[in-house]
Structure 1
Amino acid sequence: MPPPHELRAWTLQRDGLTYTLSTDPSLLDLAAINAAYASDMLYWAKPLPPATLKLCVEQSLCFGLYAHGTHDQSQAATNGSDGHGSKGEMIGFARLITDYTTFGYLTDVYVLAAHQGRGLGKWMMRCLDEVLNLWPHLRRCVLFTSGAGAVRMYRETLGAKDVAETSFLRGLVLMEKAGPAGAVVTRKKGEEDGGRE
């Protein structure tokens, strides 16, 4: 479970819909996540048993993306909600495996096809970048991706840099966003790092 200070929410109006991005784990729709895992969209994943998936998301900082139509907006207004607490339909996700201090591994990023082309993936990554920039001891956040469009998005939104193309799966790129504590130190030739990062 994320620490209470990591519970955040953002809203965006786009094409007549209101989108909410939230790190509140109580809003996550595990069935929707498993459906995405079962799809070709997340070629690296497969559905997990419900208890395993629950543990998986509980041990990560998850960003759930929700779409709210006009009915959901009026319902939220009637209930006095600011819209952050109303669930809406879960249409996207990103999972950061992290210690909330020095390191993060970004995985399972998706936006359902019906909502693609609206800049939602970029918006999700900008919100994630906002969170990462608040961690003064962050050394790095890493991710694997493929395709020129995805690489470009992570460069533009996170400031991530290509580290290497993997040898175990052709075309898969390892990218890294350096944090404030992750400055690269140049060592003299022959100097050992003593096991430090």
Structure 2
Amino acid sequence: MMPESELKSWTRQDGQVTYLCSTDPKQIQLDAYNAALESDLLWWAKRLGDDVIRRTVENSLCFGLYMLEGAADLSNQEPPRQTMIGFARIVTDYVTFGYLTDVYVLKEHQGKGLGGWMMGCVNERLDTWPDLRGFLLLTTHQPAVKIYQDKLGARDIQQGKTKLLVMEKRGPAAVRDHVF
């Protein structure tokens, strides 16, 4: 379960549009996350049952990316409506290790710098963990590599003298045709 100290929110204004990135698991729209899992955005995954997807969120540090509708209208007494347009999940012990997965920004919101901004938010949280030994991610998407390098300071650990083997034990829910 996520420690209270990990709760954090960031906002970004882009013209008339306000975006929110939040680690509050109560804000995660599980139906939107599940829709992304069964889309081409997350080709390595598949839709999960309601209880299973809830457990993945409860047992990870999640970053929901939202577009706020009605946030700029100060005369409106209603709170802004949040539409989840992106997501990133860190499997972690919240102290020494993290593994980044399930990162996406919906196609209609790509090209606005939102993925890089979300990774900057991830990095801000990681920088508060003084005992962090390692943070890993796997990607085959070349445009994402630059974002991970620039925003997270990530590097290809296969460069240099170390020969890294990436090993996998496939479970029964693995998407069979995925190859990292």
Normalising by the residue count of structure 2, what TM-score does the alignment of the two structures yield? Answer: 0.84
Of 122, 128, 138 in structure 2, the residue corresponding to residue 134 of structure 1 is 128
Contact conserved, 1:93 with 1:110, CA < 8 A, in 2? yes
Aligned partners of 1:21, 1:11: CA distance in 2, in Å? 6
Partner of 1:190: none
Contact conserved, 1:92 with 1:112, CA < 8 A, in 2? yes
Q: Are residues 51 and 167 of structure 1, via their aligned partners in 2, closer, same or farther at CA, if it must alter by over 3 Å?
A: closer
Partner of 2:174: none
State yes or no: 1:104 paired with 2:98.
yes
Contact conserved, 2:37 with 2:46, CA < 8 A, in 1? yes
Partner of 2:138: 144
Q: 1:164-179 counterparts in 2 under 5 A?
A: 164=158, 172=180
Q: How far off its partner does 1:163 sit?
A: 1.9
Aligned partners of 2:92, 2:75: CA distance in 1, in Å? 32
For structure 1, list consecutive stretches of 5 or more residues without a partner in the other structure: 173-197
Contact conserved, 1:63 with 1:95, CA < 8 A, in 2? yes
Q: How far off its partner does 1:146 sit?
A: 1.1
Q: How far off its partner does 1:87 sit?
A: 5.4
Contact conserved, 1:22 with 1:64, CA < 8 A, in 2? yes
Aligned partners of 1:64, 1:22: CA distance in 2, in Å? 5
State yes or no: 1:46 paired with 2:40.
no
For structure 2, list consecutive stretches of 5 or more residues without a partner in the other structure: 159-163, 169-176
State yes or no: 1:115 paired with 2:109.
yes
Q: How far off its partner does 1:92 sit?
A: 0.3
Tell me the amino acid that sits aligned with residue 161 of structure 1. Answer: R
Q: What is the CA deviation profile of residues 74-103 of structure 1, one whole-angstrom value per residue up to 9, with x for unaligned ones?
A: 379636x7xxxx550000000000011000
Specify which structure has the bigger relative contact order, considering alpha-carbon pairs within 8 angstroms and separated by 6 or more residues: 2
Tell me the amino acid that sits aligned with residue 46 of structure 1. Answer: K
SS at match of 2:138: strand
Aligned length: 166
Tell me the amino acid that sits aligned with residue 37 of structure 1. Answer: L
SS at match of 1:137: coil
Contact conserved, 1:19 with 1:66, CA < 8 A, in 2? yes
Q: How far off its partner does 1:147 sit?
A: 2.6
Q: Are residues 53 and 75 of structure 1, via their aligned partners in 2, closer, same or farther at CA, if it must alter by over 3 Å?
A: farther
Partner of 2:35: 35
Normalising by the residue count of structure 1, what TM-score does the alignment of the two structures yield? Answer: 0.77
Calculate percent identity across the aligned residue pairs. Answer: 48
Aligned partners of 2:178, 2:93: CA distance in 1, in Å? 30
Q: How far off its partner does 1:34 sit?
A: 0.5
